[in-house]
A and B are shown apart, each in its own frame.
Chain A
């Protein structure tokens, strides 16, 4: 193997190596500080899983070189409507279907709106963000106590296990890996993200791919809303408020090129989500307060992205 190829392999594996490094640091510091590592691992899964699920679906959007800023608000809306459905029917299955249905509807609405008005999807998601934030307030005011919509904790307690949540993530991840890596949809999406003009000339429909991408992202959002609800069944206007930004960070942290294209990786979402949480836990172990912790995270984030994209910079395909 040539030196250049080895270097390329190392660079490509940087996010995975970064995650393993963070895992190692957490384990070492945890042992030194005598924390409850087993409980800590459970906490890390709980804290990562929603972002990991939503980000995994969002990879399909990012691969197209597109961007959805309304994912967090979409999770909140989907969770709240799911909560309302549960309170009306008493059925977790109905709640689950409502979560998925609402999220896919919102996602498809975004992409169809962009197609109809021929706008960049990013623009429609900005508008959708405002609409969904307002809708969240209305839903809470109309259907809740004014400040929350609560699903009874006893109803979701049986599902609030690490195993169940990991199962959801793994199943969705396998589905996404299959669609992304083993069907022509993934290849077409990568080509669209890499060079849209070229992709069109080969007969790939951008609109069709956008709809499929957003539908997959919608499923991720719906699953994220479901997991969010079983983890914390008291839903407020701030539910999932940080998810939107965390998804973006996780995807980039996991080594996904922001421009999408051929180098897109479905696993980037999971790697990024877990890396972020490990980093957060390490900051806590180092007794960094929130402000300093955020700054250190930001510096590490930039370093990771720098290393991960080092070998890509001068080789960008023409857009």
Chain B
């Protein structure tokens, strides 16, 4: 009897959920219709924008109604690194307290299915937009958001050219602001050149996620190699490649960096991946203590993996990451010499773009395309410089991008928005403040 009852209840539940889904489409559409309203008005604004842009003037975006709390979902793929903690701190401690928004965070995501589930939860909770720090399947994220009439923005990094071409006219794609692959290449190039200009010749490279074909790490490494090819003298090349495309191609072929000479410059060692096991840490330690080594160039965080081994030696460590107190301590302890770091407020403009989209005023360029703007790093080469940057970066009272500055973006046209984002250096931002 009880078995029968349990079975009936189980089948009833399945049937009710199917029935629920049957009505979901209707109700879901209703929900989508509601969220479509701003999009329709956005379309109107967009038309107006195109008209005014066509007239060659700055468009005046309609006054935004910020009286209602806007729910925005935030996809988080990492909640422990310095970079992600700094970003979260800026959103939680500054943005959420200064704007009429409710930011809803996902758990730490580890795969594309997790991203999809998190977006489902956001949509269920009536989020009007999603800002994504997770990149397992960005196209799927966008399509899922667009199907539900929810705006979608990439928080850091940018889409590949092919990806952007396929989604740039999607009305629910807000855009991406962050280091493009060109910026990543330049970051690696500048880092290596900094030491080549000092006459350093013996390098080791930490490839981070390069073995997993992570493009930003590949491009940073390619930038380093390009600088070495240029400084290596006549005939210098990396595995036969002498230009950017060639070097990037060589790295993609092997998913590693070959050690050896590039003209007069030597790559003495290479470690890639994030195996994080004993053998891997031993390899890191050995590389940091190689005879003759002068500089370790890391495409990501270098001081955590090589700092202890290199401490007390003359080996310099250069990293790409974010501004966090740990790096300040590493610099003071001589475990880090160069930091190209993202500043936490760098995610302010994409918030502004997403917020205004959710309020019914998405920003598009004159061709109706979504944002695709480059933003680079702040580079600190001394402890003093780091501390100056970090004081601004970690402030929740007066961060790099304050509310007053971000407010200007809520009504800016594409050109003004682009100009604002383009001035990302510390000095530029201080000048704007």
Residues of A within 8 A of B (CB): 9, 12-13, 16, 19-20, 23, 33-47, 50, 145-148, 150, 153, 162-163, 166, 169-170, 173, 177, 181, 228, 231-236, 238-242, 265, 267, 270-271, 274, 281, 284-285, 289-290
CB interface residues, B 77-124, toward A, < 8 Å: 105, 107-108, 110-113, 115-117, 120-121, 123-124
Take A41-B17, A42-B28, A166-B18 as given contacts and tell me if A36 and B113 are in contact as well, using a CB distance cutoff of 8 Å: no
- Across the A-B interface, give the 3 residue pairs with the lowest CB-CB distance, nearest first: A43-B120, A146-B213, A232-B113
A228 to B117, CA, bound (A): 12
A173 to B8, CA, bound (A): 13
Among B62-70, B136-144, B348-356, B425-433, which stretch is in contact with chain A? B136-144
Whether the pair B13, A231 counts as a contact (CB closer than 8 A) is no
B6 at interface, CB cutoff 8 A:
yes
Whether the pair A42, B121 counts as a contact (CB closer than 8 A) is no
In the bound complex, residues from chain A placing their C-beta under 8 Å from that of B111 are 232, 234-236, 238-241
Whether the pair B24, A47 counts as a contact (CB closer than 8 A) is no
B276 at interface, CB cutoff 8 A:
no
B52 at interface, CB cutoff 8 A:
no
Take A41-B21, A228-B113, A239-B111 as given contacts and tell me if A166 and B14 are in contact as well, using a CB distance cutoff of 8 Å: yes
In the bound complex, residues from chain A placing their C-beta under 8 Å from that of B7 are 177, 267
- Total A-B residue pairs with C-beta atoms closer than 8 Å? 148
Residue from A234, A241, A274 within 8 A of B110 (CB atoms): A241
Give A174's nearest chain B residue, CB to CB: B11
Whether the pair A38, B108 counts as a contact (CB closer than 8 A) is no
A274 to B16, CA, bound (A): 13
Q: Can you list 7 pairs linking A and B with CB atoms under 8 Å apart?
A: A38-B20, A38-B24, A39-B31, A46-B116, A166-B17, A231-B116, A238-B110
B290 at interface, CB cutoff 8 A:
no
Whether the pair A19, B13 counts as a contact (CB closer than 8 A) is yes
A13 to B2, CA, bound (A): 8
Whether the pair A39, B110 counts as a contact (CB closer than 8 A) is no
B77 CB, min distance to chain A CBs, angstroms: 10
In the bound complex, residues from chain B placing their C-beta under 8 Å from that of A162 are 17-18, 21, 24
Whether the pair B2, A34 counts as a contact (CB closer than 8 A) is no
10 extra A-B contacts, CB within 8 A, seeds A43-B124, A163-B18, A241-B110: A12-B2, A13-B5, A19-B13, A36-B125, A145-B213, A148-B136, A232-B111, A234-B140, A238-B111, A239-B112
Whether the pair A265, B124 counts as a contact (CB closer than 8 A) is no
Whether the pair A232, B140 counts as a contact (CB closer than 8 A) is yes
Residue from B20, B137, B255 within 8 A of A41 (CB atoms): B20
In the bound complex, residues from chain A placing their C-beta under 8 Å from that of B213 are 145-147
Whether the pair A39, B28 counts as a contact (CB closer than 8 A) is yes
A198 to B239, CA, bound (A): 71
A238 to B110, CA, bound (A): 6
Whether the pair B116, A153 counts as a contact (CB closer than 8 A) is no
Whether the pair B113, A39 counts as a contact (CB closer than 8 A) is no
In the bound complex, residues from chain A placing their C-beta under 8 Å from that of B28 are 36, 38-39, 42
In the bound complex, residues from chain B placing their C-beta under 8 Å from that of A271 are 6, 10
In the bound complex, residues from chain A placing their C-beta under 8 Å from that of B107 are 290
Whether the pair B21, A42 counts as a contact (CB closer than 8 A) is yes
In the bound complex, residues from chain A placing their C-beta under 8 Å from that of B105 are 289
Residue interface mask B214-229, A partner, CB < 8 A = 1: 1000000000000000
